[in-house]
Each structure stands twice: as structure tokens, then as C-alpha cells.
């Protein structure tokens, strides 16, 4: 039943996330692709810019009014882009609750990083999520908001500090997910507390025939720009739990910030492509360089065959005993570890044949990446990891 709930919530989160990202990307493109209206009457009526587009067998004519139309009433059929953001955050929060908080002892806590209780871990995770927005909101309302570059640098520095702190409190996987949840909360809260209320104020004034204050729109636009640069880092975090080489790296916080920076720069490039003038190819080149460096840094170590002829041969029975004690509670036909209805990724180590068939996977996950056992729930020791490594290397030499 738990797996069914996980599947349903995760599916809903992905669907609503696609809708939110799609709408966000579209409006960023639209906003940066506007041209001066060709019809002088449109300019007199308050049109700031327009764009003609063709799609789906038809033509579209989009116009942007900075402060609303001057010589005509506002259309009652006014579309609001908000529910995509709200449903994405609500489903994401629920997903964090049923996976990372309910299973905090498995996915959030790593006693080798910090020996904390489940309740403490949950409280810290929630603190980063909501505290992150409170700090971000304060910065956007401070004097720093007058200079977008300075504000961006300060936000990046604080986000980097958060990444460092999280990876020194939680397991790498839990740290990455809490980091993504923090950014996602900042994005959704900006929509709920700033963007939509500001737009409502503008609409109310427009309907009342009063002069529209541009300040709410300017504040909302700034938050929208930040949201588009947060998007790709959040998407990376959503898939990072499949790649232990990222979150389990010795310098995982730098890996996280490197990929986040690359994602933000990729968005900078694509946003600039929609703006009149030359696109910022330097941003894309920098992003590619960062990704190359990150990939090089986090690439799993090469499997080197042990050439020490004096090393005593490791009996398979020794390795099998370690696997049974440290791994088989999860990687079994019928797992006994709470929270696992089936073996992770379908890897089962019940028989000698199954263990030998997955020898490389075991070596990579337990020795090279040290990602397994997850959160080191079963307390595997360094000497046991070394024994598995020696067995694997000897096995490679003898072609067992």
C-alpha cells in the first residue's frame, strides 16, 4: 500500500511539475521576445510589446500591457498561472513527508555524518525549507534588491552555505533532497506571497478605474526571474537520488553547487536567446566547462586489480557472510528491512550465483561509492568493505 501511495504522489508531482515548468518557461520566453507594437493605437492603449507566433496549425498574437489596457475594460476571462505552482509544491511536500521524513532513519540520517534523532532530522529539514524562504524574502525586500547582480551573488553565496551545511548534517541523498525542497519552497512561496497578491492588487485597481501601481509587478517579475534560474537545479535534485556518484561524493556539496550553477547558466543562455541581440554563448560555454569538471571529479574510480601476490585469498564464504549480514535485509526476495517491500532496483543477493552475478555492482556501491548500505543502516565496517574489495579484485585476476 505504501508503494502505491508513493507511486501516485510521485506521478502527480511530476505531472504538476511539468505543467509549472512549462508555463514558467513559456512566459519567460514570451516576456523576452516582445517587440514594439506596429499599430500606434496599441501603444496608446498601453501595449508594452507584442509577439506573433505560429503553432498547432494556427497563428497567435500576444500583447503585454504593463499596467493593463487604458481604453478598454479588463476581460472577465482572465487566466491566472498559479495552481501549477501550488500543486507541485503540495505534492512535493507530501512526497518528502512519506519518503524522507517518515523514512528519516533510512533516507535522511547517516550516523557517520551526524548522529541525530529522527525528530531532530525532520525539524532541521523543515527549518531549512521554510527558513530558506524567510531569508530569501528578506533579501528581496532589502536594499540589495535594487541591484540584481549583487542580490544574485548574495543569494548564491547563502544557497552554497546551505548546501555545505546540509551535507554535513544529513546523508548525501537526504541533503540533496532537502536542498531541492528548500529551493522549491522559495519558488512556490514567491508565487503565493508575492507574485499572485501583487497581480491581484493590480487587477483590483484596474477594475476600480484607479491608477495602477507598478511596484507589485516589478517585485513579481524579479521573483519570476529568480524562479526560472532555480528550475534546472531543482530538476537535477529530483533525479539525483538515482546517481550515488553525485550525492555520495566526498565533496558532494561542491558537486551539488557545480551542477546547480551550470543549470542556472544554461537558463541564462536560453533566456538570452529570446532577447533581441546576440545570445550569451559565454554562459553556455561556462556551463559546459563546469559540467565537464564536475563529471571528471565525480567519476567512479577505475577498478584496479590487486597485484599483491602475498595477499591471502579471500574465500567467497567470507564475502557471502558480509552480504548476508549487511545487505540482505534489503536485497532479498522478501526484504526484512522496514520500508522496503521489494529489493532496491531488483538486485537480490539470496544465493551465491546472484551475488557473483552482481559482483561489480556490489563493488561499486559498497566500496567505490560507499553508497550502500543506504545510510549505513546495517553498520558495515571499513574492514568489511576492504574485504569485499580484495575479493572482487582477486576475482577479476583469476576470472572466477
Q: Residue 374 above 60 pLDDT? A: yes
If we measure between CA atoms, which residue out of 85, 335, 108, 376 comes closest to residue 241? 108
Neighbours of 321 (CB within 10 A): 13
Neighbours of 116 (CB within 10 A): 18
Q: Residue 305 above 50 pLDDT? A: no
Tens of pLDDT, residues 116-131: 999 999 999 999 999 9
Tens of pLDDT, residues 226-261: 999 999 999 999 999 888 889 989 899 999 999 999
266 is written with which cell numbers? 544554461
46 is written with which cell numbers? 498601453
Q: Residue 133 above 80 pLDDT? A: yes
Query: What are the E-state strand segments in the chain?
Result: 47-55, 58-65
- Residue length, the chain? 400
Q: What average pLDDT does range 158-174 have in this prediction? A: 97
Q: What average pLDDT does range 290-302 have in this prediction? A: 86
Q: What average pLDDT does range 273-291 have in this prediction? A: 92
- Do 24 and 227 meet the contact criterion of CB atoms below 8 Å apart? yes
If we measure between CA atoms, which residue out of 272, 240, 279 comes closest to residue 258? 240
Task: Tell me the pLDDT of the chain averaged across its residues.
Answer: 91
- Do 46 and 68 meet the contact criterion of CB atoms below 8 Å apart? yes
322 is written with which cell numbers? 558480509
**Rounded-to-integer distance, Cα 333 and Cα 320, Å:** 16
pLDDT of 344 reads: 82
**Rounded-to-integer distance, Cα 23 and Cα 342, Å:** 37
**Rounded-to-integer distance, Cα 23 and Cα 303, Å:** 45
DSSP 8-state class, residue 60: E
Phi, psi of 18 (to 5 degrees): -60, -45
User: In sequence order, what are the residues at sequence separation of 6 or more whose Cβ sits closer than 8 angstroms to the Cβ of residue 239?
Assistant: none
Tens of pLDDT, residues 87-111: 999 999 999 999 999 999 889 999 8
Tens of pLDDT, residues 37-51: 999 999 999 999 999
pLDDT of 236 reads: 95
Q: What average pLDDT does range 173-189 have in this prediction? A: 97
**Residue 31 exposed, middle or buried by CB count within 10 Å (0-12, 13-18, 19+):** buried
DSSP 8-state class, residue 313: P
Residue 61, helix vs strand vs coil: strand
User: Residue holding cell 546551505?
Assistant: 162
Give the pTM.
0.87
Amino acid at each position: 500500500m505504501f508503494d502505491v501511495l508513493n507511486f501516485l504522489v510521485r506521478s502527480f508531482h511530476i505531472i504538476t511539475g511539468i505543467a509549472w515548468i512549462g508555463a514558467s518557461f513559456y512566459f519567460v520566453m514570451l516576456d523576452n521576445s516582445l517587440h514594439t507594437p506596429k499599430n500606434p493605437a496599441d501603444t496608446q492603449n498601453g501595449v508594452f510589446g507584442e509577439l506573433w507566433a505560429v503553432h498547432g496549425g494556427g497563428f497567435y498574437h500576444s500583447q503585454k500591457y504593463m499596467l493593463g489596457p487604458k481604453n478598454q475594460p479588463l476581460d472577465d476571462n482572465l487566466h491566472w498561472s498559479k495552481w501549477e505552482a501550488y500543486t507541485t509544491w503540495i505534492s512535493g511536500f507530501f512526497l518528502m513527508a512519506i519518503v524522507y521524513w517518515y523514512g528519516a532513519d533510512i533516507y535522511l540520517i547517516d550516523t557517520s555524518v551526524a548522529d541525530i534523532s529522527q525528530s531532530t532530522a525532520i525539524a532541521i529539514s523543515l527549518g531549512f525549507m521554510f527558513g530558506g524562504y524567510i531569508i530569501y524574502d528578506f533579501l528581496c525586500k532589502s536594499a540589495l534588491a535594487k541591484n540584481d547582480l549583487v542580490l544574485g551573488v548574495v543569494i548564491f553565496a547563502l544557497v552554497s552555505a546551505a548546501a555545505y551545511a546540509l551535507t554535513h548534517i544529513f546523508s548525501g541523498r537526504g541533503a540533496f533532497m532537502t536542498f531541492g525542497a528548500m529551493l522549491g519552497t522559495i519558488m512556490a512561496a514567491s508565487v503565493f506571497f508575492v507574485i499572485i497578491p501583487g497581480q491581484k492588487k493590480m487587477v483590483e485597481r484596474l477594475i476600480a478605474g484607479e491608477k495602477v501601481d507598478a511596484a507589485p509587478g516589478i517585485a513579481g517579475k524579479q521573483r519570476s526571474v529568480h524562479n526560472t534560474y532555480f528550475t534546472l537545479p531543482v530538476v537535477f535534485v529530483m533525479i539525483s537520488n538515482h546517481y550515488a556518484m553525485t550525492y555520495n561524493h566526498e565533496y558532494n556539496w561542491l558537486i551539488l553547487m557545480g551542477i546547480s550553477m551550470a543549470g542556472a547558466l544554461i537558463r541564462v543562455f536560453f533566456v538570452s536567446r529570446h532577447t533581441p541581440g546576440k545570445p550569451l554563448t559565454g554562459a553556455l560555454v561556462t556551463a559546459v566547462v563546469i559540467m565537464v569538471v564536475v563529471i571528471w571529479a565525480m567519476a567512479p574510480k577505475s577498478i584496479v586489480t590487486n597485484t599483491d601476490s602475498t595477499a591471502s585469498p579471500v574465500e567467497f564464504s567470507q564475502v557471502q557472510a558480509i552480504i548476508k549480514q549487511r545487505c540482505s535485509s534489503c536485497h532479498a526476495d522478501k526484504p526484512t528491512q522496514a520500508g522496503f517491500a521489494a529489493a532496491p532496483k531488483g538486485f537480490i543477493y539470496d544465493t551465491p550465483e546472484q551475488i557473483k552475478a552482481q559482483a561489480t555492482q556490489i563493488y561499486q556501491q559498497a566500496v567505490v561509492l560507499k553508497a550502500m548500505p543506504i545510510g549505513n543502516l546495517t553498520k558495515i565496517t571499513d574492514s568489511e568493505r576492504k574485504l569485499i574489495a580484495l575479493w572482487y579484485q582477486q576475482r577479476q585476476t583469476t576470472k572466477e
